[in-house]
Structure 1
Amino acid sequence: MTLRNILLAGTAIGAAAFLAAPAFAASNTQAELDALKAQIDALQRKIDDVEIQHGTAIKSLEERKSDVKVGLKNGRPSFESADGNFTFEISGRAHLDMGYYDQDNASEARLGGLGNNINFRRAIIGASGTVWKDFEYDLYFNFGDSGDEKAGEIYEAALHYVGIDGLKLSIGAIQPKLTLDDSTSSNDITFIERATAANLMTGIGAGDGRMAVGAAGNTDNFFGAAYYTMGSVGAGNTTDGDTSNVLGRVAFATSPKEGANFHFGLSGTYAANLPGDAIRLRDRPELRVDATRMIDTGGMAADTAMAYGPEVAFNYGPFRAQGEYYRYEVDQLGAAPDAEFDAWYLQASWILSGENYKYSMSKAAYSGVSPNNPFMAGGGMGAWEIAARYSQADLNDLGAGVQGGQQDIITVGLNWYANKNVRFMLNYLNVEVEDRTAPFADFGHDAIALRTQFTF
């Protein structure tokens, strides 16, 4: 082979190799691309699987989280199941009272010095809620008292059935609805203490922590309640635990939701099987910083006792007035004639800051004042209220041999509602007691008191 032929053959082979190289490279690149694409597809499937798994887990967690709804309205912790069948709410109130007494000479001689003091009138904590919507429950304990605190006792422990619209059936330790003043919550009363007329009524078969069974119901304009009660909490092992009482209250309101509203009502209570066959009517002078009672019938041997009377009220915008009159009759044992007493009060109040009074038909009583501009840093002065009350209770029936005294009290009050949870109450009281016992002792005092109230 000549040199020329050799060169031509080499050139031909090189050219063939050069032309074949791109095709070979292209073939390898496509294979690599196909393999990479397969890997990406596999990775994408894994990512999709992970997202599905985590999405299911997140959804499950969200569903679990929604099983309980948690709230803190007005500072009150509450819990509700997702279906609304169960609720649980924690609430409490603290009423801290301080007072100063200025006694006349006759009062100091008869009673000694009244104690200028500071104490928790009420310190209540507990819970309420619903079970399967149709049942409600209340469980509260009170650590406050009149003139001194205490270790704590059941204030309310009751079960209620509310499955019938407008009707509430109750059993347990409750506060039966009796009198307008007593049906108003202690958080909402206008003065530091309720009037003596109402206190004497609730002392016969009603009051806080009374073992009872009964019902209360209302329509748009009518309210009615009836109860059978026995002794108070803790009286089960005493003669007081055997007492039997029937009591009730009815009321009618012309316009409970808005506008000028007139309220008319009637309360009554009948007590039989009295503890120890005796009854005693007495009360403190509408202030309980000192626990001394200034009118007192003493123990009266009695078979039965009853009390009854009307209540009236009117509210329009920031003005409100109310009054109650009650008569108390005691069927004394033996030759002693029946004893009869009476008590009444009138009061009026005005919200200077312009808020309207609110009336609740479900209890036929007034709710608290809610400030339009709560007091807080940067603005708001809360709500301001002035009030006055005249109260009289006559526990004298000389013909029946009872001389418990006649008590007249003038009270002037100034209330500041800082917000829905905090209120300050300043009261001035002028107290006069006449004909307490022979030789017809008369005495009296002035008092000034301040309550600091916190509720949630």
Structure 2
Amino acid sequence: MLSRPGLLLACLALAAVPARGGATAGESNQAGGSPDGLRWDGPEPTLQLGDGAFTLRPTLRLDADAGSFFGQDQPGGFRSGVNMRRARLGAQGTLLRDFSYAFTWELGGSAPNDYSEFYEAQIAYTALPGATIRAGAFQLQHLPDYAGSSFDLPFLERAAISNVVASLASGSTRLAAGIEGNGAIGTAGARWNASGYVTGGVASTPDDERQRGLVGRAVVLAVDSPALQLQFGLDAAAQFHPGTSPGAESIRLRDYPELRVDSRRFLDSGTVRADGAWAAGPELSARFGPLYVEGLWQRVAVDAVSGPDPRHEGWYVQALYPLSGPPRQRSESSATWKRPKAEGPLGSLELGARYSTVDLREGSRGARQSIWTVALNWYPTDRLRLAAQYQNGTTALSGSGGGPENRNFQAIGLRAAFNL
């Protein structure tokens, strides 16, 4: 059996295999669709049976990370390290033509995890015009950072405010059922996207089955022209049952320093006994020629059992510019901007910058984290991404005397990612 590094090297080699037209035994060129059997798109096989009523193809995703922290002026800070951030193996396809399915197992994970776990199991009804009904454990279309594939993220990790908000009722591997839709508006060619879900706990988190929540996202592409695309949106989430077990129901908001090679999280609200919580706020994204910009703001409110109700907020703004190759293109199904296509013998190169901040302070507890990030993404092929980023951040911890304790840090992060 290959080790994780060996598996990654094998997949990086597969990423360099050029795509070739469907070529399987018994395949013909007759019109009307592909025949049953096994066909290949580069290294990606697809099995088709029942004249297309059933299809299956394997999925594989590997993200290998390395991170080095420095410039820390306080002892006990973040630690450098390496991490197999994602090592996902699964299958997806169609059933009876009108249903799609996906199952994924996670063999990697965040720094403290050294075990595998269930990640995704979903089924969707896709025959409705402009709409999909989805149920199971999956990644919800809520917040720009989660609405699309993590392979399309411009930085190694999502902005901290996205993870804080998603922890309430959405995010990845969330037990949920809901509907996702998109369509045209009038004759101007602009498009709308909307999604709504009822949610439970996180499938990979034990004893979390009592969580209950509602999640929604609505966006509209107000301007759509070759020179300018402008999109507005609103994201909202509510948790009605924290469902924490064992112990009393409570909410704890926290996140990593937008790099996951260490288990420490100084951005932490602490545990709050609560009946529920909600988060809401606008998103804005635009493409000006090749330049892409995106921003999001969220208010987070906790309904505490006793004492004051904590109120928090966070936001980010980011920009991406292609140094070579095409710019990012909008996905109509998710209303997000996908990674640039790899073009030319050397692929595509992209430069990104982001500022993000989250304030989880309440009285003498909690923290505020602010991070500047600059990233360089190289896509040698459409299946392979090599990324490097620099971070400069500060975490202000609320002290017992009411004054903040600032923990400054800098970091270099590297990633090699493969997506089958």
Smaller-chain TM-score bracket:
0.7 to 0.9
Deviates more, 1:73-82 or 1:381-390: 73-82
Letter in 2 for 1:327: R
Which residue, out of 231, 239, 246, partners 1:271? Answer: 239
Summarize deviations over 1:415-434 as a string: whole Å, max 9, x none: 11111111111010011012
Aligned partner of residue 105 in structure 1, secondary structure: coil
Partner of 1:383: 348
Deviates more, 1:70-79 or 1:427-436: 70-79
Partner of 1:222: 192
Provide TM-score, normalisation by structure 1. 0.79
Summarize deviations over 1:335-384 as a string: whole Å, max 9, x none: x01110000000001001141211012111111211121xxxxxx12111
Report the CA distance between 1:104 and its aligned residue.
2.2
Whether the aligned pair in 2 keeps the contact of 1:388 and 1:411 (CA below 8 Å) is yes
Summarize deviations over 1:8-56 as a string: whole Å, max 9, x none: xxxxxxxxxxxxxxxxxxxxxxxxxxxxxxxxxxxxxxxxxxxxxxxxx
Whether the aligned pair in 2 keeps the contact of 1:269 and 1:307 (CA below 8 Å) is yes
Which residue, out of 58, 66, 71, partners 1:90? Answer: 58
Partner of 2:285: 313
Whether the aligned pair in 2 keeps the contact of 1:257 and 1:359 (CA below 8 Å) is no
Give structure 1 stretches of 5+ with no counterpart: 1-60, 374-379
Letter in 2 for 1:319: L
Does the alignment pair 1:290 with 2:262?
A: yes
Measured in 2, the distance between the counterparts of 1:87 and 1:258 equals 36
**Hey, which of these two has a bigger chunk of strand by percent?**
2
Which residue, out of 265, 287, 305, partners 1:333? Answer: 305
Does the alignment pair 1:232 with 2:196?
A: no
Measured in 1, the distance between the counterparts of 2:155 and 2:340 equals 13
Measured in 1, the distance between the counterparts of 2:233 and 2:118 equals 30
**Hey, which of these two has a bigger chunk of helix by percent?**
1
Partner of 1:431: 393
Summarize deviations over 1:240-299 as a string: whole Å, max 9, x none: 211110111101113568542111111101111222321001111100011211111110
Report the CA distance between 1:210 and its aligned residue.
0.9
Measured in 2, the distance between the counterparts of 1:411 and 1:307 equals 25
Whether the aligned pair in 2 keeps the contact of 1:100 and 1:116 (CA below 8 Å) is yes
Partner of 1:25: none
Measured in 1, the distance between the counterparts of 2:286 and 2:222 equals 10
Whether the aligned pair in 2 keeps the contact of 1:256 and 1:361 (CA below 8 Å) is no
Report the CA distance between 1:409 and its aligned residue.
0.3
Report the CA distance between 1:116 and its aligned residue.
1.7
Whether the aligned pair in 1 keeps the contact of 2:325 and 2:347 (CA below 8 Å) is no
Measured in 2, the distance between the counterparts of 1:74 and 1:62 equals 16
Letter in 2 for 1:391: S
Whether the aligned pair in 1 keeps the contact of 2:141 and 2:148 (CA below 8 Å) is no
Measured in 2, the distance between the counterparts of 1:283 and 1:257 equals 38
Measured in 2, the distance between the counterparts of 1:309 and 1:67 equals 48
Does the alignment pair 1:452 with 2:412?
A: no
Which residue, out of 142, 159, 172, partners 2:123? Answer: 159
Summarize deviations over 1:371-423 as a string: whole Å, max 9, x none: 121xxxxxx1211111110011111132xxx6211111000011111111111
Measured in 1, the distance between the counterparts of 2:223 and 2:350 equals 23
Q: Note the 1:16-415 alignment, pairs <5 A.
A: 67-81=35-49, 83-106=51-74, 108=75, 112-220=76-184, 221-235=191-205, 238=207, 240-254=208-222, 258-275=226-243, 276-334=248-306, 336-373=307-344, 380-398=345-363, 403-415=365-377
Provide TM-score, normalisation by structure 2. 0.86
Whether the aligned pair in 2 keeps the contact of 1:329 and 1:339 (CA below 8 Å) is yes
Aligned partner of residue 176 in structure 1, secondary structure: coil
Give structure 2 stretches of 5+ with no counterpart: 1-25, 29-33, 185-190
- Superposition CA RMSD, Å: 1.9
Partner of 1:36: none
Whether the aligned pair in 1 keeps the contact of 2:73 and 2:409 (CA below 8 Å) is no
Summarize deviations over 1:305-328 as a string: whole Å, max 9, x none: 000000000014421000100000
Letter in 1 for 2:266: M
Measured in 1, the distance between the counterparts of 2:180 and 2:225 equals 19
Aligned partner of residue 360 in structure 2, secondary structure: strand
Report the CA distance between 1:183 and its aligned residue.
1.3
Letter in 2 for 1:310: P
Letter in 2 for 1:330: V
**Alpha carbons of structure 1 residues 113 and 344: separation in structure 2 relative to 1, 3 Å:** closer
For this pair of structures, how many residues does the alignment match? Answer: 379
Measured in 2, the distance between the counterparts of 1:62 and 1:154 equals 36
Aligned partner of residue 204 in structure 1, secondary structure: helix
**Alpha carbons of structure 1 residues 245 and 148: separation in structure 2 relative to 1, 3 Å:** same
**Alpha carbons of structure 1 residues 78 and 332: separation in structure 2 relative to 1, 3 Å:** same
Aligned partner of residue 199 in structure 1, secondary structure: helix
